[in-house]
Amino acid sequence: MLTIHCPNCGITAEETEFHAHGEAHLKRHGPGSSDDQFEEYLFMRENPKGVHFERWRHQNGCGKWFHVARCTMTLEVFGSYSAQTYTPPQEILDVIEDRRPGWSKKELAQ
């Protein structure tokens, strides 16, 4: 059972209150983009063993979206942050660096 913090309403609750919606920071390419780019956006996923950034929704609470940094090998939650960003904020990256020394940013989804 994960314990997750919602940065929108400030509540920390167990995972049954939330719903996971897959990888965060996917880039949706605009008009004129190629089939490959559209396929990347719709289907291709990092699916990493380790640090994963993902979208969650506070389904049985405030109903708003946010992002969570989590480890898929240990289920450790590194922290939550606003969905209004293209990249994870520095404080989240600092927590990850602290907990997973040597983890590098290049594992991020392109």
Binding residues (CB under 8 A) for other proteins: these are 1-2, 15-16, 19-20, 22-23, 35-36, 39-40, 42-49, 52, 54, 70, 72-75
> Smallest gap, in angstroms, from Cβ of residue 2 to other proteins?
8
Handedness of CA 84, 36, 106, 80 (dihedral sign): positive
- How would you class 99 by CB atoms within 10 Å of its CB: exposed for 0-12, middle for 13-18, buried for 19 or more? middle
Of the two residues 78 and 90, which places its CB atom closer to other proteins in the complex? Answer: 78
Three-state secondary structure call for residue 23 = strand
Least Å distance between CB 69 and other proteins?
12
